[in-house]
Structure formats: C-alpha cells, structure tokens
Amino acid sequence: MELTVKYIISIILLTSTLFGAELDWSHDYKQGLVDAKREHKLVYVFITSDACKWCRKFERTTLQDRSILKRLHSEFITIHLSRNRDEIPAEFKTSPVPRHYFTDSDGNVLYNTLGHRGIECFDSFMDNAHERFTINKQNKE
C-alpha cells in the first residue's frame, strides 16, 4: 500500500513538472529582449486578460502540445503579459485578446495575430516569424 501511494505521488509530481514548468514565462518585455539577444532567440509575446475564455482555452490546448512547447522553449524567449496586471509596451495592441506577437531581439515585430489558434496554425506562425526574420536579415546585408 505504501509503495502504491509513493508511486502515485511520484507520477503526479512528474506530470505537474512536465506540463507546468515547460515554459519559463517572463512578464518583463524589456528583459525578454535582453535575454533573446544573449541567447540568439526570437521573442514570443502572449497577451491575455484575466477573464478571457479564449486565452485559457489556448493555454489548455495549443500550449500543452509537446511539439509546440519544445519549439517555443528552444527557439523563443516567451513572455506572457496580462493587460490586467502587466505593463504592456505601447506598440502592442491589447484588445481583443488573446494576442500573439513574434519579435526579434531588437523588438521589431516579425509577425502578429490574435485569437485562439490550433496546433498546426500556431506552428505555422512560428515558421512565419522565422521566415520574416531571415528576410529582414538578408535585406540588411
């Protein structure tokens, strides 16, 4: 009996670690840009409101997909800003939500969209951000 309880508790802790700690959300956009520059990553800014049902749905579905989590973790600095609690830069719209902004480490918006998006659609948004980044980089050269 005691072994079964320990096993169940271990599984619960492992599951919560896998899903709860996948993304290290920052709530500081300026620091996120610094981190992106240091880590050579793009930035994903997720703007929500506390009462937004579509924001919660996106968090429960798309942001729980293993491939999405892996990509966000490896390719982006992730920033979650609530229009109810966080300071949001003036260049970002805050209504309606959820809003998604992809920027480079200088804060140049590469791609943005709004609403709840499914896995495949959101994955293509990340592709669009990288594509725009590459185009911008080539144009500067």
pLDDT at 15: 41
37 Cβ partners below 8 Å, 6+ apart?
Answer: 105, 106
DSSP conformational letter for 86: S
Class of domain 24-140: alpha beta
Residue pLDDT, tens place only, 8-25: 544 444 444 444 447 889
Count each helix (H run) and each strand (E run) in the chain, helices first.
5, 4
User: Is residue 71 within 8 Å of 78, Cβ to Cβ?
Assistant: no
78 forms beta bridges with 44
pLDDT at 120: 97
Kindly report the pTM of this predicted structure.
0.83
Q: Which residue has the higher pLDDT, 16 or 54?
A: 54
Q: Average pLDDT in the 22-50 region?
A: 95
Report how far apart, in Å, the C-alpha atoms of 110 and of each of 4, 18, 24, 113, 133 are. 50, 30, 21, 11, 6
Report how far apart, in Å, the C-alpha atoms of 18 and of each of 11, 13, 104 are. 10, 9, 28
